[in-house]
Amino acid sequence: MTTAKTIWPVILSGGSGTRLWPMSRSLYPKQLLPLVDSHSMLQTAVRRVMNGGRYGAPVLVANEEHRFIIAEQLRQTDCQPAAIILEPEGRNTAPAIALAARFVMERDPEALILVMPSDHLIRDEAAFRTAVEAAVAAAEEHRALLTFGIRPDRPETGYGYICCGAPLDGHNDVHSVDRFVEKPNLKTAEDYLASGNYVWNSGIFLFRAADFLEELAEFEPEMAEAAGEAMDKGRWDSLFFRPDRDAFRRCPSNSIDYAVMERTRRAAVVPVDMGWSDVGSWAALWEVSPKDATGNVLHGDVLVEGVSNCYARTDGPVVALTGVEDLIVVATADAVLVTCRERSQDVKMIVDQLKAKDRDEHMIHTVVHRPWGTYQTTDQGDRFQTKRIVVKPGEKLSLQKHHHRAEHWIVVQGTARVTCGEKVFDLHENESTFIPVGMTHRLERSGQDPAAPHRGAVRLLPWRG
């Protein structure tokens, strides 16, 4: 029998989603993108646990670089998190969960935490909630560390598997874990599917925070101690919590599977069919997306003729396909990807090439997000650069000055309040101003801008020596 105890959602948002390049980039990865519907995958994960009294305010564990984007997406979802914990650096899932578990346990010593990646798709949320309730009962009665196993519908070679053991006493829908197995070859995956005794490892977990930390201290004492010290010495920065950097860097890098789940005797699994996908590749995204009569998934300005079973997406120029099948075509403002669906996992190798060549297309989009809005470089040449800047309502850029360039600002839409030296004045549409070299300046959205609540100002920046 389950209790009414609060479940603390812990949402991990540290991944970079390299297999979904060029849409997903390290400074704006897949969990922050609306890949499946109009909400980002992070927003969908948060909405999944915003159903009232059963769940508490979520705790997010995220990268420093994504903090303002995450905060803005939570605001758009009307979610007030308990904390956004900023990892000083990526150390894999076990240290990240340790930070969150310590945070939660200090506020609720008997707390249950539900650990979820921020970039997974769950179509059947009723089945998800039922599985969570089964896990809660097992965690409270047996002090089990629960993972959720996805019942396979095909011999998938891209996922790790869990072999289910006997049902736990009094819980026919929860099994002990016989063993974890790595990603299999096709023949082995076919055998797993035929046996009916194996499930995919989803990477979703539920346990008492205290039980997880107890097991972590037994198997990875250095990690447990370093994570605890990092939280003890951490500090608040608005709604962000910053663990101590030096202490956290002493954490060994390890996944929760290797650090705890594959070593503990408390591991248990809830088999579930909930329409789950980790959306780990363009082929996986094609699989879960609505298709037209010929099996195509099309987003943006895409034209097709004689095309079947393709995924085509563009955020920039028109993309046209004719006489092809089983392709992935993705275009952004600065990159185009073409691959066959069965090789879409290899996109990561292209990202590795970009890194090796010290290029930045793996890292940033042409549109760069800042707390105050966005900017996009539209042209650049010898001694000049132009940018399109959009400032959100009530926001402003920092007060600054440049010693080697002047700037021209032209307002395209809305009203901009300009600080230039000692002068403060408003610029309206089709008006401009000049910022001399060495002049202190700032751009902000004017409060007298009711007609354009979602638009900002554009400035053009000629570089000068």
Arch. (CATH architecture) of 7-277 = Alpha-Beta Complex (3.90)
Alpha-carbon gap, residue 269 to 274, rounded angstroms: 14
Tell whether the model's pLDDT for residue 64 goes beyond 60: yes
Tell whether the model's pLDDT for residue 32 goes beyond 60: yes
Tell whether the model's pLDDT for residue 214 goes beyond 70: yes
Tell whether the model's pLDDT for residue 462 goes beyond 60: no
DSSP state of 257: I
Alpha-carbon gap, residue 410 to 457, rounded angstroms: 8
Find out whether 162 and 177 touch, Cβ atoms under 8 Å.
yes
Q: Where are the domains of the chain?
A: 7-277, 292-356, 372-460
Tell whether the model's pLDDT for residue 211 goes beyond 80: yes
Give the pTM: 0.86
Tell whether the model's pLDDT for residue 416 goes beyond 70: yes
Q: What percent of the chain has pLDDT over 70?
A: 94
What is the mean predicted confidence (pLDDT) over 33-45? 94
pLDDT of residue 266: 96
Domain 372-460, CATH: 2.60.120.10
pLDDT band at 53 (very low <50, low <70, confident <90, very high): low
Q: Do domains 7-277 and 372-460 have the same CATH topology?
A: no
pLDDT (tens digit, 9 = 90+) per residue, 220-270?
Answer: 999 999 999 999 999 999 889 999 999 999 999 999 999 999 999 999 999
pLDDT band at 52 (very low <50, low <70, confident <90, very high): low
pLDDT (tens digit, 9 = 90+) per residue, 261-299?
Answer: 999 999 999 999 999 999 999 999 999 999 999 999 999
Alpha-carbon gap, residue 325 to 425, rounded angstroms: 57
Other beta carbons within 10 angstroms of residue 383's beta carbon come to 9
